[in-house]
Structure 1
């Protein structure tokens, strides 16, 4: 994936607002509208842009609690990790999941309506996986920063 200065400008603008009209985007990065559209299409085809989404307020669904769950597996084996990853992909409460290094093997971001919903998630997903040694839950008191933008180097 090779991107130049103009591609970076396009990517920065689209990370902030992917609904910006092509004419405005072209003007912003100093291209003609057809050339800009061609670059955006190439960035999508090459997998530089992997998706276009609308981020909604989780409270709209009644999900007012965000929990950070650290999970330690019983053993360090690829097959056990794969089974866990598969179960997490099916759990709608999990909005982010990371396989990590350190004391824990996975870190999950779980968004639910209330503590009872979280308990249901724990019983359905975590307590049924016999390969989990332990997990630790932290409750988010407030969102300090949430962004999907990544910084692009020159």
Structure 2
């Protein structure tokens, strides 16, 4: 893995807030030319540091949606069964986020559906018809207080930026 410097992280910080920010504006904000910013962005994409460019949609304007947090406990720790379950979760569009975790649950899912009937059908597909799943527990989200996919920058970068 190539080393990334403070300027790379500062570019990423801007792109996480708005990936449509022009390279000129990014350069002006961090003290680089637009071509230098472009080279760095291309390099970060090639290395996989930037894995996708996406639009975050406003669920309140897209019709009624129900967000459900689901804790899933596996029957066994067999690697093959866990990997099949991971693949199934990864391939299911309603599963927005999936975390393989330690503790009481084995997986934590963030699921988004339009109706409870859709969720009921989904539970049969994902949980009841999976012999490896012992139980699952659903919590219906009443309000999304914070959501997003921005990653915090390393402490050293934050300190370097604040000291300028």
TM-score bin, normalised by smaller chain: over 0.9
1:95 deviates by: 0.5
Structure 1 stretch displaced more, 86-95 or 104-113: 86-95
RMSD (Å), alpha carbons: 1.3
CA distances 1:68-96 after superposition (whole Å, capped 9, x unpaired): 00000101110110111121122111011
Match of 2:85 in 1: 84
Which secondary structure does the structure 2 equivalent of 1:70 belong to? Answer: strand
Which secondary structure does the structure 1 equivalent of 2:98 belong to? Answer: strand
Aligned residues: 154
Structure 2 length-normalised TM? 0.89
Structure 1 length-normalised TM? 0.94
Match of 1:101 in 2: 102
Structure 1 stretch displaced more, 58-67 or 38-47: 58-67
Gaps of 5+ in 1: none
- Counterpart CA distance in 1 for 2:7 and 2:152 is 15
CA distances 1:100-152 after superposition (whole Å, capped 9, x unpaired): 00011111110001211110111122111011100000011101111211111
- Counterpart CA distance in 2 for 1:6 and 1:87 is 38
1:60 deviates by: 5.2
Match of 1:139 in 2: 140
Which secondary structure does the structure 2 equivalent of 1:109 belong to? Answer: strand
Gaps of 5+ in 2: 158-164
- Alignment check: 8 A CA contact 1:71 1:136 kept: yes
